[in-house]
Structure 1
Amino acid sequence: MNTFRIGLLTGTLLTGVLGSQAAFAQQNEEASADEDDNVIIVTGRLRGDEAVQDVPLAVTVVSPEQLAAQGALTIEDVEGLSPNLVIDPVGAGPGGGAISLRGVSFEDIEKSFEPTVGVVIDGVFIGTNTAQLTNAFDFEQVEVLRGPQGTLFGRNTIGGVINVQRSRPTKEFGARGEVTFGNFGRRELNGVLNVGDGDVFGLKLFGYDREFDGFYDNVTLGVDAGANSNTNIGATVLIEPTPALELLLTAEYSEIGGDPAVSSLSASTDVLCVLFANPNPVPPNTFNLIPEQCNRNLDEDLYTVFANELGSIDFEETALSAQINWDIGDLRVTSITALRDSDERVVQDFDGTSIPFFQTDRVQDYRQFSQELRLSGEFNEGLSGVVGLFYFENEYQLDQTTTLPGGAQVNPFTDHEVESFALFADFDLDLTDRLRLSAGARYSWDDKEFTRILAPGVQFSNAVSFEEFTPRVSLDFDISDDTLVYGSYARGYRAGGLNGRANSPSAVATAFGPETVDSFEVGLKNSFLGGDLILNFAAFLSKYDDKQEDVVQATPPGSANPQETVTLNAASAEIKGLEVDMRANLFEGFSLTASLGLLDADYENFFIDLNLDGNQDPGEDASTRQLRRAPDVTFSVAANYEVPVSDNSELDFNVSFRTLSSYQTTIVAAPGNFGANDPRGLHPATSDLSAAITYTFYTGEDSRIYARVFGRNLTDDTGLSSALPVAGLFTFGTGIPPRQYGVALGFEF
């Protein structure tokens, strides 16, 4: 891709021009920076450091201490710490996640689709669901910004942003390290080393290595299944020749491995079970081979799997970024240039049974390049904000071999390219000492090209372009120094595109348009007892239009198959909700955090034109189905108590409880009931009780050693994590991780 090389050259030249001056970029981003430990800092609005209580935005800030106290592994563990947030792993994509925020969700690992909730790591947007669930050891903090984000971050998102900030080089000699051992063969090593001259130069080396044997029992092969491994090494260089200039260069390499185990959830309605698990097989020359592998329960049966092929994940990625900030008076010029290049191969037995029925071997290359330029700060007395431009492109090639019943194989090839450009701005205007108006806007242009080779000599191509204007406005008022009330409106946009799984000329030719979310929000932020008690509320209404959904419909006359799956703007929805965030320091050494999310999400329209006649006939109304990953209730509470043992040691006790109501993970219709979701995709209501005890011995003013024992899901609450029925052929799913426990030993100096 020529523009890919041009963009990389542009970013390199920009780095060279500004690198001699270095920069100031998102400094002091600690979760509880400032001189007051009760002041929590948020940087997601790109205004520098702002107290979270002064921001007219629904945002949850998660510190690394909160994650570490739970024996946390990845971004996935942020789930219980923010209201209305659901994160489920997706095994078919290395490090992939199905992230839902305020009922706006997405789970597809095909790289032709864009995430609805963006994951941004050190200012770099991750363009696919792959490799989103990164390790949490080196996090400085995580910010969960709820609702559409397009005027603040480089890439527009309609559901929200999980903004991850890793630690910065300290420019002084120091190190942190931790080793963890747990059940299911968990072995993990994390480390960070800092060196520097204490003034201008700093170098941070970081890395982790993790092994996990998996919690499934494959009785066909006689082995544990669901293993995963993750290795990451990298370095960040900080150069700061003057207090106003800074250059951050990061290079890292990652590997992800394992096997993507799935459970057989096929039932007597699926073709697989009709052919091979029926006492009277159809046709008569088939056999009753897998009776015990069909019609299974959705709890303890999930953890016994039957795949005849273990499967494998091989993923390698190189990531480079250059972040430059230049402080000019009250303004900051920021440049973020980033390149990510990955190769992956995933072999998976999707049907999950002991007979070869549907297996895939997916080999793909993915590259993304992004360039963001911003000018932010105080433009005039009482007027602050950010203006910027963003360029993003990615391309991937997918060579997939699918093995069908009887050993027949198909080998489609996909080549997909995206080029996007956007201008955005967001400003705050002080109308009075207590009243502030905020307004922003974004204009986005997206171009996509797609080629699909279904067989030698059978090639189809398509190209689409989109552009969209998305505004934002809010008004906030300081009722007192400790109470802020605000109201806001924002529109989010996700570009349309082309279905990377299209397997017919008609599906290749079928493009889908953009989807939008109009979000209305009111909030109240309260601080009591000198900041020892924080209590924040947000209520919202989201109008979800032209919602992109995968639908199964008839193919045009003369097609090889009678039906196909296409992505269409088939639905609209209304989502209402209430959110509560609470933090309290009740007495010396004891703190409490809690969150509550209430959600009411319903389709307003969902029309699937099964017979392609252009009319909504009886049996084509799917609006009574449930939105995916939109639980009615999410709740969490965590208590932490620090008890001094001696003058230089302490014990920390952490207990957390989180629960969420049931929710659907599949949009596929129930057998015989077109208006309901397939019940096999229902994630049950679950609770997770976790606890940890940490002993810390301080060996110096800035050094310590510690030991931690932890347990997660102590009540062993198990059940279905997710499921996917595939075109009436078979159904597979995954289970909720059962009880886990372990010990961690660490040091810091």
Structure 2
Amino acid sequence: MTKGLLAFKNTLVSGTVLGLLAGAGSPALAQTAEQVTEDDDNVIVVTGRLRGNESVQDVPLAVTVVSPQQLAEQGSLTIEDVETLSPNLVIDPVGAGPGGGAISLRGVSFEDIERSFEPTVGVVIDGVFIGTNSAQLTNAFDFEQVEVLRGPQGTLFGRNTIGGVINVRRSRPTKELGIKAEATFGNFGRQEFNGVVNFGDGDIFGLKLFGYDRTFDGFYNNVTLGVDTGANSNTNVGATALIEPDSNLEILLTAEYSDIGGDTAVASLSDNTDAICLGFAMVIPEQCNRNRREDLLTVFANELGDIQFEEWSFSGQINYDFGDLTLTSITALKDSDERVIQDFDGTSIPFFQTDRAQDYRQFSQELRLSGEFTDGLGGVIGLFYFENEYQLDQTTTLPGGAQVNPMTDHQTKSYAVFADFDVELTDALRLSLGGRYSFDEKEFTRTLAPGVAFSNDDDWSQFTPRISLDYRASDDVLLYASYARGYRSGGFNGRANSPSAVATSFDPETVDSFEIGAKTEFADGAVTLNLAGFYSKYDDKQEDVVQATPPGSANPQETVTLNAASATIFGAEADLRAELFEGFTVVGSLGLLDASYDSFFVDLNVNGVQDAGEDASSRQLRRTPDVTFSVAANYELPVADDGKLGFNVRFSNTSSYQTTIVAAPGNFGQNDPRGLHQAQSDLSAALTYTHSVGENADVYVRVFGRNLTDEVGLSSALPVAGLFTFGTAIPPRQYGVTVGFKY
């Protein structure tokens, strides 16, 4: 590390110490006129722009706000369940990694759980960025709010994102005695227990203890082993301390432990174009050429998969107010160990199994100053440092029992400075300007066999700007237009299995996003309708491609990640919230997408020239449904003096989309049809009875059902180099009952 970069890192870390030493007795932070409180009627508060509490109607960007109550009313309590409440958002679970998710926002997506890759859509929990696609899908019981910010967000958050951010705020310690606990029981052996307990002195100190435990037996039937499979378990426990020695200084310290377990399950989607069916058709005839919709819940794996994941997380956030400004320091550390055993071919014969043991560590430090710098000039400036490293020890068992044991050692260091300001040009016209400079460096060592190791390193830098102009046409209408560039770092494919693949790094990819929008209110804020239209240009898009290996290589082909494509994405979005009469609320969203490749060159013979049969630009981008739609209605009805009934119903529909960009057998220009996620509708409902048992104390019982029409179909699929194909299914009908208490 250079002296300059080392000094930069030390400056960031020292920000935490400076925040703790910041003196008492300075003037308290004064709220600006634009700030609101969460108690204001008909106001939804957002914090994603780091300007304090703002009404979502005053924010010149596309954002959907979801409360945990909205999720709970539908019997849903994970980030994955936010999917149907935000337009142009797709979240598919990825079974190969614990808590892994393939998140697509506005057609910008990535699904690989290899930790050498970075997410395109960031999940940020209490200001801490989750650096990989694993462990992104987490429980929402203790969440205060979830904000889905669509489009590049590099000038607002510590880590750059090109698709958007799912910004999660957990509840803060109340500094008073309080308890919230619930238990849920459902089909497929679902059992969940959640609890939050608050203590404190009511003034300076508060302590929050939280815990979550979930078990689920799975909905697949393994006929080879005679067991139900696809089980998962998730335990998360922790504590957050809040210390406020005076009105200017607050310190939040959190420690938590997570344990994810279960067994992996995949369905066989192999057919007569795959080697496994061509070579073993007489042995597994019923496991080839299967129906890709109705048959997915019957699986044949000869080995029961296993997931073992443990993670310790520690974070400290310090906020110090002086004048109209707030100095914030966020320091975080994550350390995890995992082991995942998986029978990827999904058949009853030993053909392709992996045993992946992995250690991962992540450290981040963010230091920022936000607020009103002068009259008419507000915003945020910040510094960010991020590093992670992981070691992977993988044993792969091939047909005939042969084993290979490649190992990976990978390190990332990232530095950034960012700023975003609002300038009030007139009482009605506001200009926002932002920019970010990022510098990333990575080191990679791949050991292919004992004593056979290859290394590579590279670095990249990029400046990404943002500009927006918004106009307050009236008290009820805000119009805006914006441009932003997003940047996703270059790197290495952590699964490289040849010297040539190790020697191949890929460069950053960028998205230039143009957006116009309107935030509107009617009936004194009882009805809000927010509209947005966008155009995104995706350049140097990173794609996994299969190509020939150099002469003399052990394998004839390999998968490498290259800047192989560019794409154009158009879209429109609508968010609606309407309180039609007392107790009755309707929430809806609509997303429209038109996504296509401009170019996609797969150099099959590695000669550097686009020959006939190497143009893949007619394939469809992954997870870009033409239409996403949802509507949910909630009605609360008083019952006697101490009770109320809550009725909730939600309907959502997502049009079909591709989950793989692998070419169809015999048709290089088309996606493999086995990766098509068919159009899916979901009807969910819940009935909740809440009874008051004292001042600020309630008990409640909820019955719920999801996918009530029992839709069946494919969730995702992956053809593997002409060898075999596997996939997963969407969950069938689920139902259950929840009993809870809060005080």
Scaled by the length of structure 2, what TM-score is found?
0.97
Is 1:379 the counterpart of 2:393? The answer is: no
Matched, 1:422 2:416: yes
Instruction: Provide the residue aligned with 2:675 in structure 1.
Output: 681
2:326 aligns with 332
Shift of 1:20: 5.2
**Structure 1 residue 299 displacement after superposition:** 1.4
C-alpha contact 1:664 1:681 (8 A) present in aligned 2: yes
When residues 110 and 32 of structure 1 are mapped into structure 2, their CA distance, relative to the original with a 3 A threshold, is farther
For 1:364 and 1:11, the matched residues in 2 are separated by 29
Q: Is the 8 A contact 1:25 1:324 kept in 2?
A: no
Q: Does 1:467 align with 2:461?
A: yes
User: Which residue number in structure 2 is paired with residue 149 of structure 1?
Assistant: 153
Cα distance change of structure 1 residues 410 and 502 upon mapping to structure 2, 3 Å threshold: same
- 1:93 is aligned, of 93, 97, 100, to 97
Instruction: Give 2:687's aligned amino acid.
Output: I
Q: What is the letter of the counterpart of residue 97 of structure 2?
A: G
Structure 1 position 13, deviation (Å): 5.7
In the other structure, the counterpart of 1:602 is 596
CA contact (8 A) 1:8 1:369 kept: no
1:701 is displaced (CA, Å) by 3.2
- Report the Cα offset of residue 19 of structure 1: 2.8
The match for 1:224 among 211, 216, 228 is: 228
Task: Give the aligned residue type for 1:163.
Answer: N
What is the alpha-carbon distance in structure 2 between the residues aligned to residue 68 and residue 408 of structure 1?
49
Give 3-state SS (helix, strand or coil) of 1:78's partner: helix
> In structure 1, what is the Cα distance between the partners aligned to 2:178 and 2:147?
26
Residue 727 (structure 1) aligned to one of 698, 721, 731: 721
Q: How does 1:451-600 map to 2 (within 5 A)?
A: 451-600=445-594
1:15-51 residue CA offsets vs partner (Å, 9 max, x unmatched): 44433559999999xx994342300011000000110
Residue 62, structure 1, aligned to residue 62, structure 2: no
CA distance in 2, matches of 1:5, 1:296: 57
Amino acid at match of 1:700: G
Asked if 1:159 corresponds to 2:163, the answer is yes
Aligned match of 1:628: 622
Cα displacement string for residues 676-728 of structure 1 (whole angstroms, at most 9, x for unaligned residues): 00000000000000000000001233210000000000000110000000000
The 5 A counterparts of 1:355-434 are 355-434=349-428
Distance 1:629 1:25, change over 3 A: farther
Structure 2 partner of 1:200: 204
Aligned AA (1:38) = N
| 2:52 pairs with 1:51 | no
Amino acid at match of 1:66: Q
Supply the distance in 2 between the matched residues of 1:252 and 1:44 (Cα, whole angstroms): 24
- In the alignment, structure 1 segments of 5+ residues that lack a partner are 278-287
1:276 corresponds to = 280
> Aligned residue for 2:611?
617
d(CA) in 2 for partners of 1:561, 1:746:
57
The CA RMSD measured in Å over matched residues stands at 1.9
Deviation at 1:314, TM superposition (A): 0.2
- Cα offsets for 1:342-393 (capped at 9, x unmatched): 0000000000000000000000000000000000000000000000000000
Moved over 3 A (4+): 1-17, 20-28, 31-35
Which of the numbers 261, 268, 277 marks the counterpart of 1:264? 268
Q: 1:647, 1:7 → 2: CA distance?
A: 61
Alignment of 1:151-190 (within 5 A): 151-190=155-194
Quick one: which of 718, 722, 726 aligns to 2:712? 718
Contact 2:266 2:344 survives alignment (8 Å): yes
Contact 2:413 2:440 in 1 (8 A): yes
Hey, what does 2:87 align to over in structure 1? 83
Contact 1:7-1:369 within 8 A present in 2 as well: no
Q: CA 1:101/1:32 → structure 2, altered by over 3 Å: closer, same or farther?
A: farther
| One-letter identity of the residue aligned with 2:456 | N
Aligned residue pair count: 737
Q: Deviations over 1:99-132 (max 9, x none)?
A: 0000000100000000000000000000001110
SS at match of 1:158: coil
Following superposition, the deviation at residue 563 of structure 1 comes to: 1.0
Given residue 105 of structure 1, which amino acid in structure 2 is its aligned partner? S
What does the per-residue CA deviation read over 1:198-229, in whole Å, with 9 as the maximum and x for residues that have no partner? Answer: 00000000010000000000000000000000
1:237 corresponds, among 230, 238, 241, to 241
Whether the aligned pair in 2 keeps the contact of 1:11 and 1:337 (CA below 8 Å) is no
Secondary structure class of the residue paired with 2:278: helix
Cα distance change of structure 1 residues 634 and 323 upon mapping to structure 2, 3 Å threshold: same
2:20 alignment counterpart: 19
> Judging changes above 3 Å, is the alpha-carbon distance between structure 1 residues 295 and 48 closer, same or farther for their aligned structure 2 residues?
same
Which residue identity lines up with residue 185 of structure 1 in the other structure? G
| Structure 1 match to 2:256 | 252
What is the rounded CA distance, in whole Å, between the counterparts of 1:202 and 1:78 in structure 2?
Answer: 30
Is the contact made by 1:32 and 1:40 (CA closer than 8 Å) also made in structure 2?
no
Identity of aligned residues (%): 75
Q: String of CA shifts for 1:488-547, please: whole Å, max 9, x gaps.
A: 000000001011000000000011000000000000110000100000100000000000
Pairwise CA distance, 1:646:
1.3
Amino acid at match of 2:196: V
Would you say the 8 A contact 1:235–1:252 is kept in 2?
yes
Q: Return the letter of the residue paired with 1:641.
A: Y
Provide the rounded CA distance (Å) in 2 between the counterparts of 1:299 and 1:227. 21
1:739 maps onto 2:733 in alignment: yes
Structure 2 vs 1, CA of residues 406 and 40 (structure 1 numbering), >3 Å: closer, same or farther? same
1:90 alignment partner AA: V
CA distance in 2, matches of 1:511, 1:614: 16
Pick from 122, 137, 141 the counterpart of residue 141 of structure 2: 137
| 1:260-281 Cα distance to aligned partner (Å, 9 max, x none) | 100000000000000101xxxx
C-alpha separation in 1, matches of 2:68 and 2:436: 32
Whether 1:299 and 2:271 are equivalent positions in the alignment is no
1:36 pairs, out of 40, 52, 63, with 40
Give 3-state SS (helix, strand or coil) of 2:427's partner: coil
Q: Which runs of 5+ in 2 are unaligned?
A: none
- In the alignment, the residues of structure 1 paired with residue 468 and residue 133 of structure 2 have an alpha-carbon distance, to the nearest angstrom, of 31
Contact kept in structure 2, 1:538 and 1:579, CA below 8 Å: yes
Between the aligned partners of 2:30 and 2:618, the Cα distance in structure 1 is 46
TM-aligned CA deviation for residue 558 of structure 1? 1.8
Structure-2 separation of matches of 1:330 and 1:266? 62
Partner SS, residue 19 of structure 1: helix
Counterpart contact for 2:104–2:163, Cα < 8 Å: yes
Task: Give the match's secondary structure for 1:18.
Answer: helix
Q: Deviations over 1:627-679 (max 9, x none)?
A: 00000000000000000001111000000000100000001000000000000
| Aligned partner of 2:219 among 215, 218, 228 | 215
